[in-house]
Amino acid sequence: MSGGNLGGCMYICCVPKNLAEFKKLIDVEQSLFGDRALSLEASVALFKNRPDIYTAVLCPKGSVAAYLTAYPLQPKCAEALIEGTITEPELTPDMLLTRHAKLERSSFYIGSVVVDSKLDPILKSILLISLAQYRVRQLQADQIRRFSVIMTAVSKEGRRLVNWIGAEKLNDGANRKDGLDVYGRTITQGFIYQACAAAERFFDNKFVHIDYPSRPLDHRGVVGIEARHPTVSHWQRAPS
């Protein structure tokens, strides 16, 4: 991942725009989680099917500073993941909701929440909150009022997210074949408003500038073909 001197630079928060950019994210994922991560082949299949699973923060040189993965699961697959009969490395495109499926009251599996460990604590918080805000804006664009999140807590950022959203344990790792506890909670519109308000207060400190897209992202282009980034969230350290 990128080095500790990222502060003071411009970052871009986006869905990876092509396979080359996407592979940078997967290289980080596999180096951190090993056999708990999806293989490159499986990840590419999911990316081609639903690019919006992946949200990354890229530094000016193009390396990955942070990323988040969120899989919209078919109802039966969400139940099987909670029970532990399937695990993250076994996810396949047919387990996901299609792009045009209704996401209201659906279940999202939060696979990874990662930020570069070399960054200072303030910048880490900025990147994590920006990833969350970007994902929330995507959901709001689809007019989703209620949905559920499911997650394990392998990384420090994952454990922090479990605590921050007040997720409850749904199943003990002893009952699941990957040995990981699984957590979840229902996310309502009220919770989203409260979380966004808290984040907006955080960003009022002038550390960052954010430019949100004026319309929902469209991922119908051909994956692997170089394309411009859509209008996305940007942020930078404000001058002192």
In a domain, 30, yes or no: no
Separation of alpha carbons 123 and 73, rounded Å: 31
Question: Which ranges of the chain have pLDDT less than 50?
Answer: 3-7, 205-240
Is 59 part of a structural domain of the chain? no
Instruction: List, for residues 143-161, the tens digit of each pLDDT value.
Output: 888 999 999 988 777 788 8
Q: How far apart are CA 84 and CA 174, in angstroms?
A: 9
d(CA 36, CA 237): 35
219 within domain boundaries: no
The total domain count for the chain is 1
- In angstroms, the CA 97 to CA 75 distance is 9
The DSSP call for residue 205 is T
pTM: 0.80
pLDDT, position 197: 72
Q: What is the pLDDT of residue 238?
A: 35
239 falls within a domain:
no
Residue 37 lies in a domain: no
pLDDT of 185: 94
For the CA atoms of 186, 188, 190, 191, the dihedral, rounded to the nearest 10 degrees, stands at: 40
pLDDT in tens, 73-101: 999 999 999 999 999 999 999 999 998 88
Q: What was the pLDDT predicted at 199?
A: 64
CATH classification at residue 163: 3.40.630
Asked whether residue 21 is assigned to any structural domain, the reply reads no
- pLDDT for the residue numbered 203: 57
Q: Note the pLDDT of residue 158.
A: 76
What is the rounded distance in angstroms from the CA atom of residue 228 to the CA atom of residue 218?
A: 12
Residues of the domain holding 200: 68-205
